[in-house]
Amino acid sequence: MTDTIQVPSEAQVAAEPVPRSAFLDRDHSIVAFNERVLDWARRPSVPLLERLRYLAIVSSNMDEFFEVRFEPHLAARKLAVREGFYSTDSYLALTEKIQQLVATQYAIYNDELLPLLRDKRIELVTHGERDPRQGRWVRSYFQREVQPLLMPVGLDPAHPFPQVANKSLNFIVRLTGRDAFGRHNDIAIVKVPRSLPRFIRLPAAKGSGKTEFVSISSLIRSHLADLFPGRQVTEFSQFRVTRHSDLAVDEDEVKNLRTALRKGLQQRHYGQALRLEVSAGCSQHLSDFLLAQFELPPESVFRVPGPVNLVRLNQLIDQIEAPELRFVPFTPGWPKAIGVGQSWFSCLAQGDVLAHQPYQTFDAVLSFLREAVQDPHVLAIKQTIYRAGARSELMELLREGVRRGKEVTAVVELKARFDEEANISYAERLESIGAQVVYGVVGLKTHAKMLLVTRREGRELKRYAHLSTGNYNAGTAKLYTDLSHFTADKDITRDVDHVFMHLASQNRLPKLQRLLMAPFHLHKAMLAELERASQAAREGREARVVLKMNALTDEPLSQALIAASRAGVQIDIICRGACILPAQVPGLTDNVRIRSVIGRLLEHTRVFYFRIDGQEVLWLSSADWMNRNMLRRVELAWPVTDAALRQRVVDECLVAYLQDTRDAWLLGPDGQYRPAQPPARKRPLSAQQSLLDRYGTAH
């Protein structure tokens, strides 16, 4: 991220668009987001095991960053060329920033969290700390459970460097002496099977009161010599390589997308190497050897003083029985507009229902679908599937709907990143019992979240719809903030039906009355809303824009926000992650205020609010303001027309977050984020906590 923003001259101000140099770097912004997440790992007010989990979250985020975003930077570094945003300088600057993030991460792990765990009598016992009793147990466990699964590979012309899977744990070993054939091959590789647990609980000493663990890397490190009888291990290091993992399938060339993706999944684990992680004490000889094998430049090495995969800390956390070291659990509330056990169809006949997840339970969505499946008057169910999770009750309900004779149509997005395999499986299971399964539009991901139920009521067919800002995933629905909108509105449900027909038939989309759909209308409509606000401000009328989203990286929309700011529109943006738009830059974005809220829950709602002369328009959406969402995906935005529900969204999703002084970070004109500060002598406010208190029941 740049330290200073290049403000256009007066001549440039009059011209459009503003130069690219006015924007913040997207990839640096993603790293900065993870710095804000990491802040939760160092907060004393956060329960200890949750602090440890935030370390794992950052590691998971950065793994995906390398797998998806880093390849163009490395390519530019290797070729010493500039390709658009990518160059050797961009590679070096980004790598340095990530190295700093990783150093901070391990410092928190080693210097803060491990000592605090020891204070709670929870210990990770290292090789040098084990007493004789523990050493005997570890040796026995290694010989019984681990050694039979290890296959050390000595490298020679007949045994070249083995294929190393993406993000797998491995050891490189340097040996003295000769092998069984009298040769001096001195390098061996030991792969650690993924089936082995990464943390093993040690039997507690009688009366110690301790909970003790050993990591699999420490356990193997202690017994490497057992794998090479007759030879001496002189050097060793654990290592892990991260590879490019974004599946690329030319949909215009393949005849069967599902088959092509299944083949691509087999190769995903062995894409181009992008990052090498080794132990902090790894010798230069071994790290140089690995770099040469993976064809990586020296800057690609990350030397870490601890486990090379902190994501696996989740296995440790899950084994510790200490509820006092976790967030106080809460039970989400039920939407007040519908009584438990009341018919959704009779309720929606009276008006729309809004559920704010996870403060209100995702079970409401399952209840809606369950009633549709069981109701003999329901004739058809149509649903989009993007990320449904590994074991999905929702998918089982759709299968039950088929068995009960409903016409079930599922639009399954096969290219949902890292969910491809699960979605292929769901598609095949649904097809096998007679559901109509379609895969959307060639070249576009279907990211819209919609469920449509058609029911016979007397002489007419009536439609009921559920639209959401988030996925149909019961697991993530406990952690992600999202809005579920249930409606029987004739215009909206007719539009939803048109969208389903379009996705299945590939016919031209009829004119929609209420919905905005990407890639056709959404981008243009948001640009038009910003221009409408700009025109009002230029005429001296009130113009206010408040936007909540996960990412803001689309340049035309950013240009339009700058133009609106210059016109005098007051703009507040609540953007959790990547953001290329600078804030509060004189002459550029004086009227733009940007904040990021990082809390216990992952902010996921998308809300677009425009007010001109007191007239409000509010949209909920599945889309962020990113180029891919606007132009390369099927997305939806829909209006909230009920005044009471619209005010509720404004209060809970916008006003509460604009007042947050505990979990919010403010973007400054220098491109840096700083924690929001409460007014003098005022307690910090947390939007998430206030909503948990309002809707949930702590227990």
Amino acid at 185: N
Amino acid at 433: I
In angstroms, rounded to a whole number, what is the distance separating the alpha carbons of residues 392 and 424?
14
Q: Are 226 and 146 in contact (CB under 8 A)?
A: no
Write the secondary structure of 321-348 as one string of H (helix), E (strand) and C (coil).
Answer: CCHHHCCCCEECECCCCCCCCCCHHHHH
From 215, 268, 274, 286, select the one nearest 241 (Cα to Cα): 274
- Within a 10 A sphere around the Cβ of 80, how many other Cβ atoms? 8
In angstroms, rounded to a whole number, what is the distance separating the alpha carbons of residues 72 and 85?
9
In angstroms, rounded to a whole number, what is the distance separating the alpha carbons of residues 526 and 546?
12
Our answer to whether residue 73 is catalytic in this structure is no
Residue count (the chain): 699
From 408, 412, 409, 407, select the one nearest 385 (Cα to Cα): 412
Choice among 447, 466, 485, 604 that is catalytic: 447
Residue found under tokens 């139920």: 453
Burial letters 314-324, b for 16+ CB under 10 A, else e: bbbbeebeeee
Q: Are 358 and 477 in contact (CB under 8 A)?
A: yes
- What are 423's two structure tokens? 């979605």
- What are 642's two structure tokens? 């009920």
Residue found under tokens 């113009």: 543
Q: Please state, in angstroms and as integers, the Cα–Cα distance from residue 217 to each residue in 143, 195, 197, following that order.
A: 15, 14, 10
Q: Which residues are within 8 A (CB) of 125 and not within 5 positions of it... i.e. 6 or more apart?
A: 134, 202, 212, 213, 214, 218
In angstroms, rounded to a whole number, what is the distance separating the alpha carbons of residues 444 and 440?
7
From 141, 106, 108, 133, select the one nearest 216 (Cα to Cα): 141
Angle at which helix 88-107 crosses helix 26-39, to 10 degrees, equals 0
Angle at which helix 522-538 crosses helix 555-567, to 10 degrees, equals 10
595 - beta bridge partners?
574, 666
- Within a 10 A sphere around the Cβ of 615, how many other Cβ atoms? 9
From 504, 70, 559, 595, select the one nearest 300 (Cα to Cα): 70
Q: Which residues are within 8 A (CB) of 283 and not within 5 positions of it... i.e. 6 or more apart?
A: 174, 235, 237
What is the β-pairing status of strands 407-412 and 436-438? Answer: parallel
In angstroms, rounded to a whole number, what is the distance separating the alpha carbons of residues 462 and 493?
9
From 247, 314, 288, select the one nearest 67 (Cα to Cα): 247
Q: Are 217 and 169 in contact (CB under 8 A)?
A: yes
What is the β-pairing status of strands 480-487 and 353-357? Answer: antiparallel
* DSSP summary character for residue 420: H
In angstroms, rounded to a whole number, what is the distance separating the alpha carbons of residues 228 and 235?
13
- What are 102's two structure tokens? 């990783």
In angstroms, rounded to a whole number, what is the distance separating the alpha carbons of residues 392 and 388?
6
- Within a 10 A sphere around the Cβ of 365, how many other Cβ atoms? 21
Whether omega for the bond prior to residue 17 falls within 30 degrees of 0, making it cis, is yes
Question: CA-based angle 652:655:661, to the nearest 5?
Answer: 105
What is the β-pairing status of strands 301-304 and 122-124? Answer: unpaired
In angstroms, rounded to a whole number, what is the distance separating the alpha carbons of residues 486 and 463?
11
Which residues are marked as active site?
447
